[in-house]
Amino acid sequence: MKLQELKNRFGIIGNSPLLDHAIDIARQVAPTDLSVLITGESGTGKEIFHQIIHFLSSRKHGPNISVNCGAIPEGTIDSELFGHEKGSFTGAHEARKGYFEVVNGGTIFLDEVAELPLMTQVRLLRVLETGEFIRVGSSKMQKTDVRVVAATNVHLTEAIERGKFREDLYYRLNTVPIHVPPLRDRKGDIFLLFRKFAADFADKYKMPVIQLLPEAQQLLINYRWPGNVRQLKNVTEQLSILEKEKKLPLKYS
C-alpha cells in the first residue's frame, strides 16, 4: 500500500519527512514477525503505528489487542497478560485466560511497556524468545504465537541504568525501532492539523469553522507543544467552543 493511501486510511495528517520515514519503516516491517519498539513523546500518536503494522501483516485477520501496561495494577498484571488458575490467589474464583493466550495467532500492543514490573519483564522475555508462558498458579507450560509491538515515551536506556528495565528485554523488543517525531519537529504539519481539527469540531458542534489570522498562525507554529498532537487537538476544541470571534489572533503560552 502506498504512503498516501496509508495516511488516508488511518487519518494521518502531515507531510514531514520524519513522519513519512516512521510510516515507511512500519510498512516495511509489517509483513515480518519481528518485534517492534515504538518510541516517542506522549501525545504523538504511537498507537497508530501499531494499527498500521497489524493491518499490513499476515495476522491482519487474527486477534489484535492493545494493553496499557501503566494502567494495570502490579498485583494483577501477570494474571492479565498470562492468565491464572482457579484458587491461585485471593479472588481467583475460576481459571482465566490471559491476553497472550487469547491473542494466539494475532498481535498484541504493549503500550507504556516501561511500566511493567521487573518480574513481569522476565515472563515477557520468555514469551518473546520461546513463545512459552505459564499461567499464574500453574506449572504447565503453554505455547502461543503472538506478534508483539511495544511502545514507550520513556528513554529505556536510562531506565536500564536505573535498574527499572531489563537490558535483555530491551534488545529483544528493539529488533526494529520506530521513532515517532514530536510535533515541534513537524512545524509544517501543525497548521494542517489545526485546520483538520477545526473542521471536525465545527461539524461536531454545528458551528462555523474557527480561523486564525496570520500572526496567530505563526504563534501556533512556533509554540513548543509539549503535549504534541493530543494537546493541539484539545486546544483547537477549546477555541472552537469558547471563542465567539471565529477569526482571531491566537494568544497561547
Strands 247-248 and 107-111 turn out to be: unpaired
Contact 13, 193 (CB under 8 A): yes
Q: What b-and-e string marks burial along 92-128, b requiring 16 or more CB atoms within 10 Å of the CB?
A: eeeebebbbbebbebbbbbbbbbbbeeebbebbbebb
Residue whose entry in the numeric block shows the C-alpha cell 541504568: 161
Q: Which amino acid is at 68?
A: N
Q: Which domains does the chain have, with CATH numbers?
A: 3-179 (3.40.50.300), 183-248 (1.10.8.60)
User: Which pLDDT value is given to residue 192?
Assistant: 96
Confidence (pLDDT) at 253: 35
The whole-number pLDDT of residue 92 equals: 78
Per-residue pLDDT of 117-146, as tens digits, reads 999 999 999 999 999 999 999 999 999 999
Place of cell 502506498: 2
Q: What pLDDT is stored for residue 43 in this prediction? A: 97
Per-10-residue mean pLDDT of the chain, 253 residues long, equals 94 97 98 97 97 98 97 93 87 89 97 97 97 94 97 97 98 97 97 96 92 88 96 94 63 40
